[in-house]
Structure formats: structure tokens, C-alpha cells
């Protein structure tokens, strides 16, 4: 089961503060490796907060934790912090906060993609 979403990226002060300490901490991963989904989308996918999902775009895929958004209903619209996880899903023109990324979200039994794996991918792509 999967659902199509448009992901809007954003900056977050808590993520920024955690990243200043280290981008290799559990705190940074927990704040960045997640997707905020509408209550209806969470229900449609049979998800509870904290369950892992695979987020796939034309550019790549990551495993992140799903969280129910507290915002007004917005089915089909998801939010992720601008981070190494959301950057794996974005094309060159989509890396700026506020840009929509077309993706599909599906439940996953896999672990959250680790930042070390994301860095390996970027090196292999010649980004780092």
C-alpha cells in the first residue's frame, strides 16, 4: 500500500540547534529523518506515529519515521525538514525550503536510513 504526496521542505530551529552540536547524533536524526503526514494519509496507510515509511521520489528513496501532522487537514501534502534525508528525494531545483517534491510513501519494516549511508550515496554521486 502506498500513497502519493507532495513534500514541502522547511527549516526548523530545533533541527538547526541539534545540527550545530553534531549531525551524527540520534537527536539530529530523530528531528530530520521523519515525515509529517496528514491524519487521513496516516490512517490510509495504517500507520501510527513513529512507524517507519519508505519515501520514494524520482531522485531516490529514504526510510524515515512517520508522524501525524498537527496542522489543519492537508491530505496528499507532507512536510520534511530540509536535511540530508529530504535532499535524497529532491532534484537540483528542489533542495530549497518550501519547494514541493513529488513522492510516494509506503509502510516499511526497514530501519531509518543512517546519515553515514546518505553520505556514501552523495560521495558515489560526486556530490561530496
> What range defines the domain where residue 8 resides?
3-124
If you average pLDDT over every residue of the chain, what do you get?
A: 89
- Per residue, the 3-state secondary structure of the chain, as one string, reads CCEEEEEEEECCHHHHHHHHHCCCCHHHHHHHCEEEECHHHHHHCCCCCCCEEEEECCCCEEEEEEEECCCCCCCCEEEEECCHHHHCCCCHHHCCCCCEEEEEEEECCCCCCCHHHHHHHHHHCCCC
Number of structural domains, the chain? Answer: 1
CATH code of residue 32: 2.40.40.20
pTM of the model: 0.88
pLDDT in tens, 96-105: 555 689 999 9
Q: Rounded distance, CA 67 to CA 84, Å?
A: 18
pLDDT in tens, 2-49: 999 999 998 888 888 888 888 888 999 999 999 999 999 999 999 999
pLDDT in tens, 46-103: 999 999 999 999 989 999 999 999 988 899 999 999 888 998 998 765 455 556 899 9
Amino acid at each position: 500500500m502506498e500513497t502519493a504526496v507532495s513534500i514541502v521542505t522547511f527549516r526548523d530551529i530545533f533541527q538547526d540547534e541539534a545540527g550545530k552540536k553534531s549531525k551524527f547524533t540520534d537527536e539530529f536524526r530523530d528531528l530530520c529523518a521523519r515525515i509529517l503526514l496528514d491524519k487521513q494519509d496516516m490512517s490510509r496507510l495504517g500507520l501510527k506515529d513513529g512507524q517507519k515509511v519508505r519515501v520514494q521520489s524520482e531522485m531516490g528513496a529514504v526510510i524515515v519515521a512517520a508522524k501525524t501532522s498537527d496542522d489543519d487537514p492537508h491530505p496528499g501534502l507532507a512536510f520534511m525538514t530540509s536535511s540530508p534525508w529530504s535532499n535524497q528525494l529532491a532534484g537540483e531545483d528542489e533542495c530549497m525550503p518550501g519547494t514541493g517534491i513529488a513522492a510516494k510513501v509506503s509502510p516499511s519494516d526497514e530501519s531509518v536510513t543512517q546519515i553515514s549511508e546518505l553520505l556514501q550515496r552523495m560521495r558515489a554521486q560526486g556530490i561530496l
